[in-house]
Structure 1
Amino acid sequence: MSERWARTALTGYRWLGGAIYPFVGGYLSMRAAKGKEEHSRRRERYGYPSAARPVGPLVWFHAASVGETSAVIPLIEEVAARGISVVLTTGTVTSATIARDRLAPEIIHQYVPLDLKTAVCRFLDHWQPDLAIIAESEIWPMTILELGARRIPQVLVNGRLSDRSFARWSRRSSIAEALLENLSHVVAQTDVDAERFRRLGARPVTVSGNLKVDTNAPPYDPAELDVLKSQIGARLTWAAISTFQGEEEIAADVHEFIRPHHKALTIIVPRHPERGDDVEAMLTARDLTVARRSRGDVINSQTDIFLGDTIGEMGLYLRLTEVVFVGRSMASEGGQNPLEPAMLGCAVLSGRNVQNFRETYQRLLKNGGGRIVRDAEMLRKAVHYLLSNHKVRGEMIRAGAATVNDMRGALALTLKALEPYINPLTVKARLHAYDREKQQE
């Protein structure tokens, strides 16, 4: 595809967005009905602000969902500590909850505007960011082009391109180049990601490692942990987390397999908590006794499954066990991040479809902190083996923690890459603070 065709395609994208703009209300209403949008804040998706812009320099951070939000929180805190205002946009209700619970009140959260010219321009007109920092792989054409037209520096941090995304963009290499040339810098997670961004036209590209390694362990309520541990008592536990459809059935199979050998409690944490009703119906149809976290059900000796269908409590669930299967890896593809269970003292199991976190899993496997299971039968045997062998389980846990420690350092490298963009804003923020102090004297 030639450069001319790329420009024509992007122009067509802009006009298509304008044409569908009047009809997106129904789409947002449908998402709100499913719990995927906050009804009271839908106007933010059209670019209408729900907060005033602070005086002084401002950085716009964008993180699509929970994982990306958690990854950039330390970076946001570093920027805010310099006196620079921050507005964070996310695209999901769950990530909004994470932002509210983990960030200081002065960090402004907004839902990301739809990638339509009218919405994006309205957002930018109000917030007038001095710098845009985008997490991982959020390549929205209209947003990138509008930022470029306004000469607002935009940096992609913790950048990654999955096999599927890279293949898709490679088929549209001219469009990719027309977009990525607007990026001032790409800070990629791995050498593989960096090379992929370069091949698509991004310049300059550096490598930092994965910001998720430098995040704090997910928070939890100590009082709630004590309550749940007292309910579980001396029972062994294992957990299937971030599960997608089909993987809860596999977890139920595992539970039924290990039940004659261990009076174990199985913890299931769906990736999308709104699926809780469907998951419970499947489990009860198999005559399994379920306690749901969202209902506040009490776990007793007859409970088979503890269903973690809440938002923002992964830190609680992971502290209840030492054996974890990480989902989206067996009945679905791509994998989920295994770093949180590894840093919280869990032996990590996963299916083979972990393309999105290939390097992380390679390190865990090499060091002995994780194991890949081929299928449901192998997972059943692996869970049974680890519950039966305290020594082996402990060795995996220690290897996983050591792997996480060895991978740290991405935050410092990312900050170094951002210095040319952040340092002038730091000076500007200090001057604004000085002026305010003088005015108050």
Structure 2
Amino acid sequence: MLQVGQLVGERFRVLRTLGQGGMGTVYVAEQLGLGRHVALKVMHPHIARAPGFSERFQREAQVLARLRHPGSVEVYDYGLDSGFLYLAMELVSGETVESLLLREGAQPVPRAVDLTVQVLEVLEAAHVLGIIHRDLKPANLFLDNHEGRERVKVLDFGLAALGGELNVRLTQEGMAVGTPGFMSPEQMRGLPLDGRSDLYSVGCVLYELLTGVPPFPVAVSAEAAVAHLYRPVPPLREMRPALSIPQSLEATVMKALEKLPELRPADAAAMRQELLAVLDEPLGPAAPKKRGEGKKTERGLGLARHEVPVPKPVAGGLPVGVVASREGSTETTLVMSLSACGFQARVVSPEGPLGELGALLFVADGRESLAHARALASRPGAPPVLLCGPADDWELVTGALEGGLFDFVPLPLDSLDLTRKVSRAQKSKR
């Protein structure tokens, strides 16, 4: 860490430490000559030494300096000094949305929507420049007062955007670029990102503004990652039963939180327009549920039913095969669950022909099941293989994603999640 009084880049004198994050430490520094205070973000040395990072840092810093929006933090300068990569940025005052939520809890609908609209305005400007934030969360949204109006400032564009190409490598080293409770599924998988990844994070923030809790309020990072990858988002009224919001607002939130990017709003402008339309609607009481509606569980199947319509399987789709690493009642239960969702399903032998199947579900029994499932997936003419196992077995989950399997189906089964994934597998086989 830098010492108080240390000079960086021959023009920034360190005054005090402001905070520390995954990619660097933030200091309050004085810019000599101008006498202004700045936020000086200095990359951790092991990140700065990563191959190619220095060149990418300077290239991206130039792009970030072009991001001029009232809701973004202005970049003043950047450079390399004695092995330290630094970024000098506007120093803001006020409080974070995270502090607001801790103090007040869930926010009124108009305020929650207004704050989110302001964030989306900043993202519109950033995405035009090709800048993806990658770490949007309440702690990175700052509130200040500008001409009598509450204004949102989006922080940490620099650290988040600059970490993009290193995301997968840093994660493998145990240092994730991003926050699991707010990261999109594709970001957790290390896939290429576009602006719709940020929209997923915005959806998480808006969800917490409306309910007082994030979509998946779990403390363990691995559990949060599993939830965002595989579990349906709980309806807003399930988290806050007395919540009264327009149905169109709930629809926009749930759309932003879709697991697949193509099902989310097309871009920040589209999501912003949807939310602005919500502000024009009258706020009435929540529609009462009809008798018998809600979430039910079919005994013996562990199969959850949701208020949202379950997508129908592909008409005329090929049958789905079920294989278990150890014979037992699990295969029969899974076949019954698939049948309840509208699929043709049957238990098959792993040694038999698989080419006539549209998808194959392999029920795991321990980590050694991964090798067996991968062997089936590598057979000529094999259908897409989905591994089925406990949602809290993080090594099994990541092993499935990294091992060339089509997808992971967590237990206990969820009807909507099961239908979506098997339908996608059937379509890919066709």
TM-score (norm: length of structure 2): 0.24
| Structure with higher helix content | 1
Q: Which of the pair has the greater relative contact order for Cα pairs under 8 Å at 6+ separation?
A: 1
Looking at CA atoms only, which structure, 1 or 2, has the larger radius of gyration? Answer: 2
TM-score (norm: length of structure 1): 0.24
